Structure formats: C-alpha cells, structure tokens
Amino acid sequence: MTDWRAQLTVPRAPFIPQVVWVDDPATGDFRAVSRNDDEPRWQALVDVDEPIVTQVDDGATAPGDAGRQPSSSCSQPSLVAAMLTTLDVHAGHRVLEIGAGTGWNAALLSARTGAAGHVVSVEVDPAVAEGARRALAEIGATPSVVTGDGTRGYAPDAPYDRVVCTASVRAIPRAWLEQTRPGGVILAPWGTDYGSDALTRLVVDEAGGASGRCGRGLSFMRIRQQRRDFLEPSRSAMATAATSQTTRRGRELFEMVAFAEAAFTIGLRVPSCYLTVEDLDADHRRIELHDVRSASWARVGLVRGADPWTVHQLGPRRLWDEVDAAYAWWCAAGRPTPDRYGLTVTPAGDHEVWIDIPEDARRWALPAERPGPGR
C-alpha cells in the first residue's frame, strides 16, 4: 500500500500563514503562535500529521487576544491524502473545490489535473481567499481562487468532473449537481447537526441527481452558510424545565453520542438537533441537545456511580425524547453502522437516505434545508 505522504506532492509549509492558532486546554480558548516569535513551535505544528487552525472568529480576533471559534484551517495531511484518493482526480479533469482555505489542497489538485486540467477553488472569506492566491502564486501554481458563496458553486467554468468540499455540509446544494457532468463525482463531509459527519461520495446521473455511499467519520468545520449553533438557557429558564430520569445505562449513552455506533443514525432521524458533549471532570459529563430554530434544549447530567440520571428539557420539542426514540429505532433496525448508509439527492435537491441499497425498505426523506440563524 502506498504511503499517504507520497500522494502529497506539494509541500505544506509554503501555505501555512505566519500566525496560526492552538487551543489552550486550561481555558478552552485559542492562542496565536507566530512564526516570527517562535519558529520552532510553528514548524513543529506544520510538520505533524494534525490539522492547523489558521483563523479564528472569522478573522475578528487579533493575535494576542483569545480566540473562541476556529473558522479556517489546513486539514490533517493524512486525511487530505485519503480524500484525494477517494476523489480520484486524473490529468485533464476540471475540478471545483469548495473552501480554498490556505490553498494547499487546490495546489495538490492542480498537480494532479496537470496542464490540460483546470481547478477552481471558491472561498467565502475575502482575506482567506487572498492568502490562498498569494501562496499559490509564490509556488507557481495556477488554480483560480474565487471569492464567493461556495454553496452556489462557480457556474462560469462548469461543467466539472469533480466537486470536492473541504468543509462539512448538512445539505448538498443543487448548484453542485447542476455544475457536475453526468458520471462526475461530488465528495463532501456530509451529515446532520448531531455529531460528526461522514465522508460521502456521490456520482451524478444523467437526470441531474446523484447517489452514493457514506464512509469514514470526519470532524470538519461546518460551511459558514450551514453552521451549527447552541442555546445557553438562563437560570430562570432552567428552573422551568421539565425533568425526568433516563433509564438508559452508561453503555447506551455512550452509543448515543458515538459516531461509529448510534449517533449518525440518530442525527438522520432527529432533524435540527445539535449535540454537544462536555466532560466537566473524570466523574461528570453533560450531554446537551440544541435546536435554536424552535428554542428547544435538553440536558442529561451524568455522574459516575449515581444513575439513574436526570434529564432537563425546555421548549416545544422534547429533544431527549426524540433522541431516545431514535436510539430505540437503531437498536431494532440491527444497529446499522454509518458505512451502511447511502444518500440520494434528486435533481430538485431533495435528500433521501437508505441502508445498504437504495431499494431497501428502510429509507426516508430528510427535511428540506432551512436557513439557520446566522452569526
């Protein structure tokens, strides 16, 4: 088997900004690391097989201040190689990339498509897009970097043989289908608001729809137009929460939040439900569920050795009850793993999931994508 490093024919370092960000375990914030101030540490971050956060808070936080939310990054090299392998790009291909980031992946795609091919990379953040253009120009790579909304694709250079998204999505935009030739491939980290996403590979058909299988679990930043969001109920709101106790035991609760177990299925069956898990210490864990659209929220507070555990629920939806029912469905359905799922997207943009084969009776339509609250 070919080592993944052999697939990365363009060096990573020229694409990493002079300032990157690392998480501070003590505070949960992100702190800047400057190449000018600490080149050995900066270089160590570049060399290791890990993602590098290259922007926080959409660029609003300056070095020296505490960053709260990663908003752009350079992905883990071994994962980049794996996605390139799955995308299966060849010389002469026309490729659309959603999310230019540092520009490194666009350079890798350009090296594969060669002089006869063409790569377009769409980046929503103007400053990030400009950084990618500079880095690509400095090494003589020629992908086109377009500043714009990646969910709209880039129609002027369509059709494409391959479309790849470097951020996660909960809906495949119709524009990507319309701009991909029949037989072309769309590759994206796709999933729901509940937990991690699956690397999903779709093949576009003659009618303009697409279908394919889900694969390995991924934790990518969500595309900005589809970001997840959470609720923080006030003390007074918490006092009005409905309370109950869950009969689920520790192993079941683990399965309910683990991607490789029930979490992927739960997300497919419980729409608009954002899962967060916080380990307060070795003996205390919080599982929370959020739906900002309906202002619904739930929490299960786990204390080691003190079950049964209390459930708090607020809002018109009883999110924990929905998740608990979805877990029961997963158990009754034979406990399907994420790689048994497939996705079909119609030319109209409707999404339908299925298990094992598209004709399986266990298939259902997902709710239409609705605009989130934004940030």
Write down the pLDDT at residue 199. 98
Q: What's the CATH code, domain 235-332?
A: 3.30.160
* 147-174 residue pLDDT tens: 999 999 999 999 999 999 999 999 999 9
Distance of CA 301 to the CA centre of its chain: 26
Which residues fall within 8 angstroms of residue 11, CB to CB, at 6 or more apart? none
Would you say the C-alpha torsion 144, 180, 358, 371 has a positive or negative sign? positive
Write down the pLDDT at residue 307. 84
On whether the CB atoms of residues 187 and 163 are closer than 8 A, the answer is yes
* 26-37 residue pLDDT tens: 888 999 999 999
Q: Pick left, alpha or beta for residue 229 (phi over 0 → left; psi -120 to 50 → alpha; otherwise beta).
A: beta
In the set 72, 73, 75, 196, the catalytic residue is: 75
Q: What is the pTM of this model?
A: 0.94
Task: Decide if 236 is catalytic.
Answer: no
Domain made up of 88-225: CATH architecture: 3-Layer(aba) Sandwich (3.40)
Residue 181 in tokens: 């030739």
Region(s) of the chain under CATH 3.40.50.150: 88-225
Number of C-alpha atoms within 13 angstroms, CB side, residue 45?
25
Q: Which among 88, 73, 156, 70 has a CA at the least distance from the CA of 120?
A: 156
Residue 374's pLDDT band, with cuts at 50, 70 and 90, is very low
Q: Mean pLDDT for the chain?
A: 94
Region(s) of the chain under CATH 3.30.160: 235-332
Cα distance between the two ends of the chain: 44
Radius of gyration of the chain from its Cα atoms, rounded to whole angstroms: 21
Mean pLDDT, to the nearest integer, of 62-86? 95
Instruction: State the CB neighbour count (10 A cutoff) for residue 74.
Output: 24
Write down the pLDDT at residue 369. 66
Mean pLDDT, to the nearest integer, of 186-192? 97
Mean pLDDT, to the nearest integer, of 321-342? 97
Write down the pLDDT at residue 305. 87
Write down the pLDDT at residue 58. 95
**Does 373 have pLDDT greater than 80?**
no
Write down the pLDDT at residue 61. 95
User: What's the rounded Cα separation, in Å, for the pair 264 and 267?
Assistant: 5
Write down the pLDDT at residue 1. 43
* 248-305 residue pLDDT tens: 999 999 999 999 999 999 999 999 999 999 998 999 999 999 999 999 999 999 999 8
Residue 2's pLDDT band, with cuts at 50, 70 and 90, is low
